[in-house]
């Protein structure tokens, strides 16, 4: 288990103990849970952002596919037994292939970095917007805390909750009203 996971789990434990202590100390302590990923996937603004990300990735993929096809065609022409190229022409074509392959690999790496950076930026931006929507829901409905349930892919923060505590749908509505 890496240090970040341990620190995160420790933070969740401390928050849980604090919440338990506060619940005992206060008459009523309202806690809600939500699924941030579901807010992103179900909200209109989230769907738009995901579509934009998909479109951005697809345009990059089309360029990569075009380069890939060009490399395959060049490689096939090099391996053609019926080719009537001189030895010098063959060497020039092989050098051209190597140069194009290196350019292709650089472009692919650059595109992957660009897409990952754009995804990180989107996640950061929308996490703030979702948190703002969750805060409004909490304030309107008297919740002292709204926890993200997490998911199977990420660290699962809430292991169990009663279905009535889930405020995801309300956060989606608030998120949509804030991000038209």
| CATH number, residue 52 | 3.30.910.20
Average pLDDT, the chain: 83
The answer on pLDDT for 85 being more than 90 is: no
Token couple for 88: 């010098």
Residues in CB range of 108: below 8 A, 6 or more apart: 64
Domain span including residue 62: 3-178
* Count of domains for the chain: 1
Q: Is the pLDDT of residue 123 over 50?
A: yes
Q: What is the mean pLDDT of residues 92-109?
A: 90
* Alpha-carbon torsion, ordered 36, 30, 5, 129, to 10 deg: 30
How many Cβ atoms from other residues are within 10 Å of residue 40's Cβ?
21
Of 7-16, 90-99, 134-143, minimum mean pLDDT range: 7-16
Distance CA 15, CA 31 (A): 12
Q: pLDDT tens, 45-74?
A: 999 999 999 999 999 999 999 998 998 888
Residue whose pair of structure tokens reads 């998911």 in the numeric block: 151
* pTM of the shown model: 0.70
């Amino acid at each position: 288990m890496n240090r970040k996971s341990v620190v995160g789990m420790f933070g969740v434990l401390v928050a849980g103990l604090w919440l338990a202590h506060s619940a005992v100390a206060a008459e009523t302590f309202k806690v809600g849970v939500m699924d941030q990923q579901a807010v992103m996937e179900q909200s209109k603004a989230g769907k738009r952002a995901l579509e934009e990300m998909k479109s951005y990735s697809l345009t990059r993929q089309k360029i990569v596919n075009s380069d890939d096809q060009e490399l395959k065609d060049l490689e096939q022409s090099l391996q053609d037994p019926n080719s009537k190229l001189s030895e010098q022409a063959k060497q020039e074509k092989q050098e051209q292939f190597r140069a194009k392959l290196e350019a292709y690999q650089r472009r692919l790496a650059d595109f992957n970095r660009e897409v990952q950076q754009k995804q990180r930026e989107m996640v950061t931006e929308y996490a703030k917007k979702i948190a703002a929507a969750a805060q409004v829901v909490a304030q309107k409905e008297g919740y002292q805390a709204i926890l993200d349930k997490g998911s199977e892919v990420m660290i699962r923060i809430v292991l169990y909750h009663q279905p009535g505590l889930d405020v995801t749908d309300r956060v989606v509505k608030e998120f949509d009203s804030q991000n038209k």
